[in-house]
Structure 1
Amino acid sequence: MTKNTVIMLTVKAIESAKQKEKPYKLPDFESLYLYITPTGTKSWRYDYQFNGKRKTLTIGKYPYISLADARNEKELARQMLAYGKDPAVERKRKTLLANIAQGNTFKKITLEWFDTKKRNWSINTREMIIRYFEKDIFPFVGDMDIAQIKPLVMLNCLKQIENRGALEIAKKMRQRCTEVFQYAIITERAENNPARELAKAMVTHTPENYAFLMEDGMREFMKALQSYSGNILVRYATELLILTAVRTMELLSCKWEYVDLDKRYIILPK
């Protein structure tokens, strides 16, 4: 092998590459390389200089972006540099224009994500999730291009929930928003997830253990419940919660069509 021989990547070398304890690179040619993380994710990257600064263009994940496609993208980036354009900036501009043309708002992407996930949730969970999005998230960022939403914008949005004392809801909605942004990244409508790291900037919710009764105390409670002089529905509902161990929302949404008195059971919808 001569001194000037160029060793380029092969599909076989890419397929056989395994993850290591630390991220590492498999170089191809002219600063194109495959970046492999400790989790095994493989993505194409291209290092270049622009205005005297070293920059990196993330082309995409392998195998979604093949070796041949990655080389083509690198050549396009080199052409942009020849014309004095920053490939990374041009890529973001292209994504923005595509989102504007397609109307890729946060609300639109959220509803897409919701449609793909809802079959895994109960009816009550579906209603709760979409209700919180409509109440707490959509009024602030629903009409925004999802690719242009910054971490501070999302933080201010979630702080509105925290400020009314709903810390657990704020935590759950940050998690849901994180899933929406991840879905947008996978479907190539966004490149960053501004909700992912916000947990460190939010108020930490300290859960409280609910009071509970031991066996003797439960006997006394049931006796007292029988003599409860308030609304009879409250008494019956409390007895049902104790006897069936269903969740409060499941009991509140229960219908007679779910109940079989002859067989003495209740079938709750998923």
Structure 2
Amino acid sequence: MANRRVAPLNDTLIKTAKPKEKDYTLPDGDGLQLLVKAIGSKVWEVRYTINGKTTKTTIGTYPKVTLANARKIKDQYKTTAMEGLNPTHLKKQAKLEQEQDTQGQFHLVVYDWLKTLKQAPTTLHKKTRNFERDVFPFFCQYDKYQNITSSCPIKEITHSQIYDVVKTKENTSIDTARRLLNDCRDIWLYAIHKGLVETNVIANISRKGLAKYEVTHHPKITDESILKELIQAINNYSSLLTRYALQFVLLNPLRVENLVTLKWEYVDLKKGIITIPRSEMKVKNKNFSDFILPLSTQAVSLMKEIYQLTGWGTWVFHGTDHTQPMNKETCNRALERMRFNDEEAGRRQRTHSFRGTFRSLAETYEQQHGVSEASREACLDHHEQDVKKRAYTHRADYTAQMKILMQWWANFIDKLTHH
């Protein structure tokens, strides 16, 4: 019996085809047909034979896929099948590769990696800003509004390209260049675990090839007469919360990031201590305990005042929108407005400088307070560099001596202020 010849479809026939109670098909011939579903949608189907087995698959909906395009796709499928390849499998593989290329775009990998970090918001913001400013321009494409539209797949980025990025940043900041290199190592390890790359192209970039980082010491006020002027200026500063922040860091020499991200949940006014998780400290060694700093009676009184202002929220020192911590430059700008920015005259003070002021004067008056150097360093969360010594010192409990020192320091500030 001869095969029944099928009249090819046309757009008029397709457009006028109405849904029925059950799905039905309109054949176009040579394995192409249109499935008209009871719900009203129209789906293209292709039948092809590979290795003696007939397979049916969908290739899109009408009118999104036109009749002409459906016939072209059908021809491609049948040609591929004649070569012994399964066109459906090839399509799925191509889609998977496209998804991997999209997910593997460098900027998306970086943002995903940043989400895995358990660090202070200000630290994460700084890392994000470093990549957006110093790295992304090498690998990303932007629209006219400077929004990223796409970026190079991470698997295509080479060792020499990252080396060039780091060396370029060296020209303006050796410290940031080294941080970027360390972060890139971690990003490539993350990408390996995600199956986005096979090797870590950063592994062979040695820090020895980078310029040496020169340690710069923060200027600090140690002259007691100038320090007295500074204290008076702080106490008279107009912005209440900024004044509180400066008064607090004067009494409790925290690092800037720990100061501005201090949360009320870390403060125990009954016990007179603050406890900051080790993960938020500069030294994040998991073998070290959380940082505990005893508060002087003056610091407790100050905290009670601050609590009346910000105790309802998360942050001890919140930003302008209350949901974010204070900007770490806020106190620096206040010190500049007070005109404590003349380094040659010994009158330059930054927020971080209060640590140096405390350390220097605590050392000068060691005979007066009688607290050991190890306890003084513990107040600053400084740790022994020698690994063998550190194995013992990090287990020591200096809390009692730290309490004595912090109370002595608060009394010293009081005497200086009222002298």
Structure 1-normalised TM-score? 0.50
- 1:134 equivalent to 2:142? Answer no
- 1:220 equivalent to 2:225? Answer yes
Give the 3-state SS of the residue equivalent to 1:127 in structure 2. helix
- The aligned residue for residue 102 of structure 1 is 101
- 1:204 equivalent to 2:212? Answer yes
Q: Deviations over 1:44-91 (max 9, x none)?
A: xxxxxxxxxxxxxxxxxxxxxxxxxxxxxxxxxxxxxxxxxxxxxxxx
- The aligned residue for residue 165 of structure 2 is 157
Give the 3-state SS of the residue equivalent to 1:191 in structure 2. coil
Q: Deviations over 1:134-170 (max 9, x none)?
A: 1111111241111111111001112221112x11111
1:100·1:145 contact (CA, 8 Å) conserved in 2? Answer: no
- 1:167 equivalent to 2:204? Answer no
Per-residue deviation at 1:115?
1.4
- The aligned residue for residue 261 of structure 1 is 305
Q: Distance in 2 between matches of 1:134 and 1:241?
A: 31
Per-residue deviation at 1:180?
0.5
2:101·2:153 contact (CA, 8 Å) conserved in 1? Answer: no
1:99·1:147 contact (CA, 8 Å) conserved in 2? Answer: no
Give the 3-state SS of the residue equivalent to 1:261 in structure 2. helix
Mark the runs of 5 or more structure 2 residues left unpaired by the alignment.
1-92, 141-150, 268-302, 318-323, 326-419
1:181·1:195 contact (CA, 8 Å) conserved in 2? Answer: yes
Per-residue deviation at 1:248?
3.0
- 1:247 equivalent to 2:255? Answer yes
Change (3 A) 1:233 1:263: closer
Superposed, 1:56-135 pairs within 5 Å as: 98=97, 101-103=100-102, 104-117=104-117, 120-135=118-133
Count of residues in Structure 1 that have an aligned counterpart in Structure 2 = 168
Structure 2-normalised TM-score? 0.34
Give the 3-state SS of the residue equivalent to 2:135 in structure 1. helix
Mark the runs of 5 or more structure 1 residues left unpaired by the alignment.
1-93
For 2:157, give the aligned amino acid.
Answer: I
Give the 3-state SS of the residue equivalent to 1:133 in structure 2. helix
**Higher Cα radius of gyration:** 2
Q: Distance in 2 between matches of 1:141 and 1:262?
A: 46
Query: RMSD value over aligned CA atoms?
Result: 3.9
- The aligned residue for residue 57 of structure 1 is none
- The aligned residue for residue 192 of structure 1 is 199
Per-residue deviation at 1:181?
0.5
Q: Percent identity?
A: 20
